[in-house]
Chains A and B, each alone.
Chain A
Amino acid sequence: MKTSLLKKVWRPSLAILLFIGLWEVATRLFSIEEWLLPSPSDIVMEARNVIPTFLPHLGSTVTLSVSGFLIGTTVGLGVATILHLMPRVRETFFPFIIISQNMPIIVLAPLLVIWFGFNALPKLIIITLACFFPIAVSALGGFTQTNRELVHYMKMMGANKSQLFWKLELPHAVPSIFSGLKIAGTYSVMAAVVSEWLGAQKGIGVFMTLAASSYRTSRVFVAIIVAMVISLAFYGLILLLEKFFIRWQQKGENV
């Protein structure tokens, strides 16, 4: 088990190390200014200094993205369920859902601040908007792709619409819902950072804008890396949940 993990991991790890090495060498060799592109070692030094003051920002962003993600998941699953159970509603409103994804969030954000002020609400709306779509689409896909034979069995046995949904369609959609959750999980951190640019007291986004406006580029990089780590941690957590929920699935085969 351990050796196989090592086998899987050594190639990408080596590639990352090589990349960081090249970066370090390049910045030194061409003596690139730190405010333009800091070397990895600069970033590490900066991180060491700044992490203690950084922690409250981190907490704020994590809270924001987790709550946004949870709301987005609820909304996404709710929307998918409604659209699935009511085909007319689906025909009418599906275009709106697509359009909601075509609006550039960065442009929408200031508007939301005008409407709702500088509190948490506009931020949560932004994260929800970013998260609900992948979940709704993947859940809807899972519902409609339910195995025909299982549906036929349920109908022959006299299952009603709600039994069909709760006992068959919903559990059948779980693997596909999880692929939506994984995308939404990574989006949520990104959306949280973007929403904090709008104006907030704390958060990685705030820290990032402050650092950028004073040309402390290594600090910006620290923020970027931390955001990446949070995002990865999210992804890993969802992956673990997925393993737990679909432990019934045979590897490489459906049904």
Chain B
Amino acid sequence: MLELRHVSKSFGQKQVLQEISLHVASGEFVSLIGPSGSGKSTLFNLIGGLLGPDAGEIYLNGEEITNKHGFISYMPQQASLFPWRTIIENVLLGQELQGKKDYELAEAMLERAGLGDVIHAYPHELSGGMKQRVAFIRALLSPQSLMLLDEPFSALDEFTRTDMQKWLLSIWEDYEQSILFITHSIDEALFLSDKIIILSVNPAEIKDVIEVPFIRPRDGDLLLSEEFLQWKKKIIDVIQF
């Protein structure tokens, strides 16, 4: 579904991305992991069409989307909810931008996501974790079939984060959406994804791609299993190499 072919990008003298080629299949959950400053956000801006690559092309469902926007759905690091809109109005924003609103679907989805009580509340009345849930539902409800998630849980505390990861899986597993997920937590990447892409820094290149073998649905016990720790060690070795 999403394909990047030999994408490179520099800012002035500094090369940020070098020859990045990657692939996200339909319904696949792919994580991008790498140290800070490895150009992950730049990569997102390229896919979103906010920046143009110096070389290479980006395809979505076989169609070239290099330099074009409106083809992906996005969830930023900060929830970025609009404070003057109620939760339901916020959730409908992605659809609104593309033209058609489905109020009933949004309502049903909020109910299912455990946000039924706050449909008509304003964002400032919600906790950090709740806001991120709303932001995720907003991305999921947008009509685009690929979601980019930019470190969505990094601002949350440890307890909330684990809850959020489980919650995200439980919601996402019912939908067809593909996800490209930026994180710098190895645990998070392993727990959530089908595939992990490890990036190096200065300039970012793809170091390795790891297929995660755990079956779905996954639960919290997985995080403490022997197998999980072995995979974690494997990834650390790749990063440090």
A positions within 8 Å CB-CB of B: 147, 149-150, 152-159, 163, 167-168, 171-172, 174, 246, 248-250, 253-255
Q: How far is the CA of A250 from the CA of B131 in the complex (A)?
A: 15
A167 and B93 form a contact (CB under 8 A): yes
Q: How far is the CA of A149 from the CA of B80 in the complex (A)?
A: 6
B84 and A246 form a contact (CB under 8 A): yes
Q: How far is the CA of A154 from the CA of B85 in the complex (A)?
A: 15
Q: How far is the CA of A154 from the CA of B96 in the complex (A)?
A: 11
A248-B69 in contact given A152-B76, A158-B49 (Cβ < 8 Å): no
Q: Is B73 an interface residue (CB 8 A)?
A: yes
A174 and B50 form a contact (CB under 8 A): no
A157-B73 in contact given A167-B96, A250-B124, A255-B83 (Cβ < 8 Å): yes
B positions within 8 Å CB-CB of A: 44-45, 48-50, 69-74, 76, 78, 80, 82-85, 93-94, 96-98, 122, 124-125, 142, 148
Specify which of A156, A167, A248 is in contact with B83 (CB 8 Å cutoff).
A248
Q: How far is the CA of A171 from the CA of B84 in the complex (A)?
A: 7
Nearest B residue to A150 via CB reads B80
B142 and A157 form a contact (CB under 8 A): yes
A253-B70 in contact given A149-B76, A156-B148, A158-B49 (Cβ < 8 Å): no
Interface of A, secondary structure class, is helix
Within the complex, the shortest CB–CB distance from B181 to chain A, in Å, comes to 15
A156 and B97 form a contact (CB under 8 A): no
Residues of A within 8 Å of B122, CB to CB, are 248, 250
A248 and B80 form a contact (CB under 8 A): no
A158 and B97 form a contact (CB under 8 A): yes
Using A153-B76, A155-B48, A156-B50 as known contacts, list a sample of 5 further A-B pairs with CB atoms less than 8 Å apart, ordered by residue number in A.
A156-B44, A157-B74, A157-B93, A157-B142, A249-B124
A156 and B72 form a contact (CB under 8 A): yes
Q: How far is the CA of A153 from the CA of B139 in the complex (A)?
A: 11
Residues of B within 8 Å of A171, CB to CB, are 82, 84
A155-B124 in contact given A149-B80, A171-B82, A246-B84 (Cβ < 8 Å): no
Q: How far is the CA of A159 from the CA of B94 in the complex (A)?
A: 9
Nearest A residue to B68 via CB reads A158
Within the complex, the shortest CB–CB distance from A22 to chain B, in Å, comes to 46
Nearest A residue to B49 via CB reads A158
Residues of B within 8 Å of A153, CB to CB, are 74, 76, 80
Nearest B residue to A155 via CB reads B50
15 CB contacts below 8 A, A to B, read A149-B76, A149-B78, A150-B82, A154-B97, A156-B148, A158-B48, A158-B69, A158-B98, A159-B97, A168-B82, A171-B84, A172-B84, A249-B84, A250-B125, A255-B83
